[in-house]
Structure 1
Amino acid sequence: MGKIKQRRHRGARYNPTGVTPNGRSGGEEAGRQDNQAAGLRLVQEKLDSAIVEERVCGLNTLAALALEDCAPSVIVAGSLIGKVAALLRDPSVEVRVAAAGTLRNVSAGGSDDVVEAMVQQDVLAPLAELLKAYTGTWAPTTTDLGQPSPSHLDPMANTFIHATHLLWNLCECSEEAVNVFNREGLINVLVPHLDPATWGHALALAAAECLLCVSENNPAAASAILPVADTLVSHVSRPADSAQDLRFATTLAGVLLNINYCSPSNTSSQLILRVLAETLKTDPATEIGRLVVEDDACDTSATTTTNGTSTPTTDTTCDLDHLISAQQLAFELLSNICCADEDEEDWEEYGSMSGEEEEEAMEVGGGGGGDGAAKDILPPEVVEGLRHYQLFQTALSRTSPLDPTLAQQTQALNAASNIVSKLSMLRVRAMMCVQNMAAVLDVADMGGAEAVYTIWLNLGSVVFKNPCPENGLLEAATGAMRAVMDRLSQDQCDQLASITHQDLQMIFDAGVSCSVGSVRANIARMVGTLACLVVAHTPQDALITGPVGTVLSAATNYLFKVAASDSELWVSAEALDVLIDLYSDDKTDNLAHNTNLVDRLKGIHPHFKAKHKQNKKSLAEHRALVLTVKDNLVGFIKYKASRIAKLHKT
């Protein structure tokens, strides 16, 4: 429990207009829908035109419409996707680049269902045909020197970039798209385009990011990449002169990890950690400060030129975007390095079993899951690399919000919305990284018990003291707190054992009010861990009296509340698992009697068993936890009941 291996995330979504959709009133919403309908009718007419300029105009109109709220789902519901996909074969390169950009917009702005609908409407066949055309001899007009080439100057290169991002989006959401990718041998299109010196930074980065997506859990792609892995290593090893270089190197590092090229006996594992450390070295807050200074020094007319050339402010904004994107990926890769793969196939088999078959399988297979399992041990070389580059400390530093003054100045920037959004996601990834590294590093590697306890308190301020953050940040923060607490618990931290009822009440309030199941589960586990520490540091006779008795009774009552009434079965299972851990210590017998533990567990058990029978096919990754609790609960009730009965006979 407490370890997360994330599915690969997409990069920044393509937005050619730079417009961020805002909330609208009911009247505005109706007007928007009318405009969408009118726009789609116009597009239909123009796509059928024999005139190149008309087809391009229709595609550009559709690309802009695709950025509107809910527009991608409206577009795929009609007959336009097939027509646009067919234009990927158009003899005009201007039409092809517009068609690829339009489909990229639809796929980037739509849900998984939208992307799946695009696959079903035969986008992949013309897309594969278009990309295969790039296996021949061709050369970009410019290698862009770090900047994307304007489409009117190099439509061939920009068509490739749009098509590659489209392929990435499709493969991200659709297994069928990955199958087509493998079947059509599109890996042989991407790999030759990974040299920025030849193809330009924008094109090479697009190929690398698509390769990162399709190489994850894809043995066919991995076997095709392995023969050229040394070439990828050479690209990764090059000195990084810009944030875009760092992003490119980090992306290729992810590809090498996906194909299991790096191992403890392979020096590339240390290369990967060095690249990640280099990517994470610069604090984005420093670059934001530079951007604020530049913005103050230039008025709007000075920062926007009529010929479309870049300016200091736009250059800094672009560099900042690359830096934050690179660091988001670096934290994701670090999290995955520190998180061993868990084989969930065995657990999925239980979903179709009867109750008796399931219980028999549990007895043979042994429960699985849960915080009681020993922590995964990383190869010594990897642990040494984490220590040497102080990657835990780096991840921890990115969990903090911007300085209030700088945050206020950032809000005044033209790119404020994008910067704030990216920084929020960076904090989430950093907290996930802290969570997974805390599970594999010793307390000494994290600065010692006192420092780690301070880390726990600081993370708690994000969750319990400040106004409630958005759900993703809240989930990541409680996950990190839980992992840090588990590590402190294993070291029997005295500071945690001295927690008061008032401290617990803040935790209870957050757990009750939060709508995110994983947050409620993390809080339940933390409450139980704290209670276990209190029990471990308190003599048996003092467990039912004074402040300690108050804390333990309050923790017990909270856990029972979660176990009995939480809407998610697996969260209830988490609370029951914690109660079993807490009261498995024989010196809690008197406390169990005082809190009416056995009768309350007997009251919950039938409801829990019935809810499991109803939901057992939809438990997904939580099946291991639920089955373990279901298997252990009856035996624990019998054991504790006999202990309490003996207690009253003596």
Structure 2
Amino acid sequence: MGKSRTKRFKRPQFSPVGSCQAEAAATANGTGDEEDDGLAAELLEKLQHPSAEVRECACAGLARLVQQRPALPDLARRDAVRRLGPLLLDSSLAVRETAAGALRNLSACGGFDVCDDMVAKDIMTPLVALLRECSSGLDSNEMSPQEKADKKRNSIESIANEAVNVLWNVCECSSRAVSIFNKEGCLEIVLQYLRRFPTSIDLAVSVAYCLQTVTEDNPELLKSFDGTALRVLESALLCPVTSMEYILLKTLVAGTIWNLKDIIPSKSQAEIINAILNTLSEVLGVNAGDTVIQMKEAETQRLKDAAESEDILANANGDGEMEFQDDEMEEIPHKRKLRRKTFISDLLPSTDKELREAMALLTAQQTALEVIVNMCCSEDPSDDEWEELSSSDESEAFMENSFNECSGQLMSPLCLSHEIHSALTNCLIPKKVFEKTSSPNSDAVDICSKNPTWKPLIRKMSTIQCRALMCLQSLVSLLDIDHLGGAPALQTLAQHLSQLLFSQPDFAKHADFLEAISSALRALLQTMASKNIPQCMTPEQLMTLCREGIHSSSIGVRVNVVSILGITGSVLAKEDGTLETLKTIGCFLLEVTTKDPSLVVAGEALDALFDVFADGEEAEKASVQIKLLAALKEFQPVFKMKMRKEGRARYSPDQLCVLDNVKMNLRRFIAYQETVEKRLTS
């Protein structure tokens, strides 16, 4: 697998506040394109209104409207970005915040094209100016503890948080934005914000996300990191954990420091790598399922206490205007009932502290797994895992049963430095990753499924399992088996993965899970085969996986299952009494070779055939009985024709290189099979 980049996280979108709720609600409940068009025009017109309150409401309405994908083209046509941009520097702090929130949602919902368009329309100029002003405003307000509650200071922090999120979004999607970030000295500004992590954790987390994005593959920015900047990151990395949000902050900072590894002095490399992996190990060591359960129980108790306090106050005042049933208390935080109904897309309202804590932990664990994968993978990214695979032997020794020696290589040779290798094992990373591959805690899933606002955590827990499986793939491929616990540990792991897979009768319906677990199984079985460790999947299980997986719409899944079949078949080919199983495998691979619409999958299936039928008496008998030679001779010109017609249009140069190699090996394998068939039939 190539370099696995940090994924884009779906974070809470901006929530309009105050007197704008009614207008934002109307926006959220829009019913048709024509209404949206009219509403967009009306809201954009109000951005120029002399009243700050009207401008604020218009920005809040737009913050909701941009979340409706059909509205985006109309907003672009009406030049929404150019109209919103100046409001980032509006005289009203409330307008600044809602304008930044609207742009945050636009950049988050619109994706790469919208972000590029925002940069082209010069959103960076007012955005950078706003970030500078907020920085100055916060720095000039060193207040006493009582003054820290001042609304203006809190408002500046909220504006800065929204602005940093806009900056993060556009930099994640636009190289031009990253270039402007570098040239405008934005690093110094956001580091000033990061310094505030002891009192402004929300802002610090947003900055950490942004820094992790802009420091990736950005050598120009790395030159700006001096000792002072690194000390800011170090301070955040070593901060005491007082909430799950601080765990998330430390994890993001660890990912940022990893991106800066090229500028860290060699004498400090081991120390820094150990600090990073210690942080990630601590994050992965937290039991997420138990934490989710504890947080939900804490929320339930808090809401019950709040309801009781409200009842006491109401009775004392003779006012019983609000009454809540127990199930409402479970589902809807007190005093937020109207907003919860109106703003259904609010993922993490600020008062839902327990939900925020649980989500922060899960996001931290997902991020930790992704950083570990990045640490394990080569520096030469590849968009297609299969590019790394091929029977690539060029020598004339091919005919002398060289298939087993040259094929079945799961990944291109990757090297871990001694420091990373030692830190991974010393910090017990393989053990922690293995634990995260288990299915999500059923009690936690059950609790979350009963509450609409907690349901997104179910998806998050499943994502962590998939990330752990992909991380496991990297570790199994890179570490010596002794560092993985030896042969018994690998066999236990194989049994664990098989149980995970086949305990879900509908596993084929879960595309992400199937791709992740098939990748992990493929790496594990390859490692076990290379060390002559007995494999644990039964032929029946193997064929069940392959028959389900080959119908997946994911090319990655289809490549994985035929590769698994090739790995297992090559092992069985050396054993006695496997003739019927080899015939089943051969027929399956032939069908994939000739019928799969993707040349990538067909090429992998050919490689698997080369592996299975390259050696062994049982394999030779099976190849003759399934008429492998005749089938391949018939397919050879078809394969060449498809490569000529589809090659350059559909596949990358690297893929074409591998396909050319497969084409050459097919010719040689046919020649080899001719000698086998002649010998067995003579």
Q: Normalization by structure 1: what TM-score?
A: 0.84
Give the secondary-structure state (helix, strand or coil) at the position aligned to 1:341: coil
Cα distance in 2 for partners of 1:169, 1:465 equals 39
> Who is 1:644 aligned against?
677
Cα distance, 1:369–1:170 mapped onto 2, change above 3 Å: farther
Q: 1:41: Cα distance to partner?
A: 2.6
Are the equivalent residues in 2 in contact too, given 1:528–1:579 (CA < 8 A)? yes
Cα distance, 1:418–1:32 mapped onto 2, change above 3 Å: farther
Deviates more, 1:398-407 or 1:148-157: 148-157
Pick one of 625, 645, 651 that aligns with 1:619: 651
Cα distance in 2 for partners of 1:641, 1:461 equals 41
Q: 1:525: Cα distance to partner?
A: 0.7
Q: Deviations over 1:97-134 (max 9, x none)?
A: 21111010111122323323333333233223333445
Does residue 1:292 correspond to 2:296, yes or no? yes
Cα distance in 2 for partners of 1:392, 1:241 equals 27
Q: 1:438: Cα distance to partner?
A: 1.1
Cα distance in 2 for partners of 1:407, 1:427 equals 13
* Percent identity for Structure 1 against Structure 2: 25
Deviates more, 1:627-636 or 1:280-289: 627-636
Deviates more, 1:468-477 or 1:53-62: 468-477
| Structure 1 residues not aligned, in runs of 5+ | 19-27, 348-358, 360-367
Cα distance in 2 for partners of 1:161, 1:455 equals 43
Pick one of 530, 538, 548 that aligns with 1:499: 538
Q: Deviations over 1:607-639 (max 9, x none)?
A: 222323323354246455434323422233223
Cα distance, 1:627–1:180 mapped onto 2, change above 3 Å: farther
Does residue 1:628 correspond to 2:654, yes or no? no
Q: 1:59: Cα distance to partner?
A: 0.3
Cα distance in 1 for partners of 2:494, 2:632 equals 31
> Who is 2:403 aligned against?
none
Pick one of 453, 464, 476 that aligns with 2:516: 476
Structure 2 matches for 1:413-492, cutoff 5 A?
Answer: 413-466=451-504, 467-468=506-507, 469-492=509-532
> Who is 1:355 aligned against?
none
Q: 1:285: Cα distance to partner?
A: 0.5
Cα distance, 1:229–1:628 mapped onto 2, change above 3 Å: farther
Cα distance in 2 for partners of 1:144, 1:6 equals 46
Cα distance in 1 for partners of 2:670, 2:450 equals 60
Are the equivalent residues in 1 in contact too, given 2:14–2:104 (CA < 8 A)? no
Q: Deviations over 1:32-63 (max 9, x none)?
A: 43442342132022112122211111000000
Q: Deviations over 1:240-287 (max 9, x none)?
A: 332222211111111111122566843111111111111111111011
Q: 1:29: Cα distance to partner?
A: 10
Does residue 1:208 correspond to 2:208, yes or no? yes
Are the equivalent residues in 2 in contact too, given 1:471–1:516 (CA < 8 A)? yes
Asked which structure has the greater RCO (Cα within 8 Å, sep 6+), the reply is 2
Cα distance, 1:640–1:195 mapped onto 2, change above 3 Å: same
In structure 1, give the amino acid aligned to 2:605: A
Q: 1:155: Cα distance to partner?
A: 2.5
Q: 1:340: Cα distance to partner?
A: 1.8
Deviates more, 1:7-16 or 1:132-141: 132-141
> Who is 2:557 aligned against?
519
Q: Deviations over 1:570-612 (max 9, x none)?
A: 1111111221222233653333222222222222222222323
Q: 1:216: Cα distance to partner?
A: 0.6
Deviates more, 1:407-416 or 1:624-633: 624-633
Cα distance in 1 for partners of 2:410, 2:152 equals 60
Are the equivalent residues in 2 in contact too, given 1:4–1:436 (CA < 8 A)? no
Q: 1:518: Cα distance to partner?
A: 0.6
> Who is 1:555 aligned against?
585
Cα distance in 2 for partners of 1:447, 1:431 equals 17
Cα distance in 2 for partners of 1:484, 1:557 equals 24
Cα distance, 1:408–1:234 mapped onto 2, change above 3 Å: closer
Cα distance in 1 for partners of 2:360, 2:226 equals 27
In structure 2, give the amino acid aligned to 1:340: S
Q: Deviations over 1:451-504 (max 9, x none)?
A: 4233333333444451235322221121111111112112222244x733x223
In structure 2, give the amino acid aligned to 1:15: Q
Are the equivalent residues in 2 in contact too, given 1:456–1:484 (CA < 8 A)? yes
Give the secondary-structure state (helix, strand or coil) at the position aligned to 1:196: coil
Cα distance, 1:51–1:31 mapped onto 2, change above 3 Å: same
Cα distance in 2 for partners of 1:413, 1:64 equals 23
Are the equivalent residues in 2 in contact too, given 1:142–1:200 (CA < 8 A)? no
Cα distance, 1:521–1:73 mapped onto 2, change above 3 Å: farther
Give the secondary-structure state (helix, strand or coil) at the position aligned to 1:478: helix
In structure 1, give the amino acid aligned to 2:224: A
> Who is 1:13 aligned against?
11
Are the equivalent residues in 2 in contact too, given 1:143–1:196 (CA < 8 A)? no
Cα distance in 2 for partners of 1:336, 1:396 equals 17
Cα distance, 1:224–1:237 mapped onto 2, change above 3 Å: same
> Who is 2:230 aligned against?
229
How many residues are aligned here?
607
Cα distance in 2 for partners of 1:458, 1:281 equals 19
Q: 1:395: Cα distance to partner?
A: 1.3
Cα distance, 1:429–1:114 mapped onto 2, change above 3 Å: same
Cα distance in 2 for partners of 1:383, 1:204 equals 31
> Who is 1:595 aligned against?
626
Q: Deviations over 1:523-549 (max 9, x none)?
A: 11111111111123x1xxx4xxx5x11
Cα distance in 1 for partners of 2:595, 2:123 equals 47
Are the equivalent residues in 1 in contact too, given 2:439–2:500 (CA < 8 A)? no
In structure 2, give the amino acid aligned to 1:183: K
Structure 2 matches for 1:104-143, cutoff 5 A?
Answer: 104-134=104-134, 136=136, 138-139=138-139
Give the secondary-structure state (helix, strand or coil) at the position aligned to 1:523: helix
Give the secondary-structure state (helix, strand or coil) at the position aligned to 1:241: coil
Q: 1:558: Cα distance to partner?
A: 1.3
Cα distance, 1:295–1:344 mapped onto 2, change above 3 Å: closer
